[in-house]
């Protein structure tokens, strides 16, 4: 199952890349939502090989997720891979400079089943595909607006 979306952001590509690679902000956001997030690598600087382990409650059950940064290409984008017991996913985030102060953010999220239970989960997601796609695009649009607002405050 695949979700894709893109947003144009009124900010330079370098700033947008810094925002999408602010991993401590994403960790804090997950912690605020009740997830237990732990960084499991020993890298000093951001780069390929960064890893996290996350535990969170979803639909009444505790879920365990292993996340790995598999590509890090400043300022063009990143690729993140995640594995759970039943599903695995890949998220590719690409940035394209449209002008000095305008950047296109493209996000591609792919989910695949690892087990029969994973296939059942994906099947139920496919039934709600339109709603999920709408929510995915809305969240990306909100994120793009947040990045623009932070840029306007700094500049």
Q: How many angstroms separate the Cα of 14 from the Cα of each of 3, 27, 59?
A: 25, 21, 38
Question: Whole-prediction pTM value?
Answer: 0.93
pLDDT at res. 26? 96
Task: For residue range 2-31, list pLDDT tens digits in order.
Answer: 999 999 999 999 999 999 999 999 999 999
Residue 60 pLDDT: 86
pLDDT for 91-119, tens place per residue?
999 999 999 999 999 999 999 999 999 99
The separation between the first and the last C-alpha atoms of the chain, rounded to the nearest angstrom, is 39
What is the model's pLDDT at position 136? Answer: 98
Q: What is the rounded average pLDDT of the residues 32-39? A: 96
pLDDT at 155 (0 to 100): 78
User: Hey, CA dihedral for 113, 115, 119, 120, is it positive or negative?
Assistant: negative
Query: Quick one: which of 6, 38, 9 has its CA closest to 149?
Result: 9
Domain range for 50 is 2-154
What integer pLDDT is reported at residue 80 of this predicted model? 98
Total count of domains within the chain: 1
Q: Any idea what the CATH number is for the domain that residue 150 is in?
A: 3.30.530.20
């Amino acid at each position: 199952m695949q979700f894709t979306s893109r947003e144009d952001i009124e900010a330079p590509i370098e700033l947008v890349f810094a925002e999408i690679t602010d991993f401590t902000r994403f960790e804090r956001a997950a912690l605020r939502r009740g997830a237990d997030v732990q960084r499991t690598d020993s890298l000093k600087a951001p780069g390929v090989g960064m890893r996290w382990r996350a535990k969170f409650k979803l639909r009444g059950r505790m879920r365990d997720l292993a996340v790995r940064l598999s590509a890090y290409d400043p300022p063009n984008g990143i690729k993140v891979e995640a594995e759970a017991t039943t599903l695995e996913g890949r998220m590719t985030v690409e940035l394209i400079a449209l002008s000095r102060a305008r950047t296109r953010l493209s996000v591609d999220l792919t989910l695949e089943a690892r087990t029969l239970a994973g296939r059942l989960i994906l099947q139920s997601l496919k039934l709600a595909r339109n709603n999920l796609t709408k929510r995915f695009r809305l969240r990306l649009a909100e994120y793009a607006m947040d990045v623009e607002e932070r840029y306007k405050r700094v500049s």
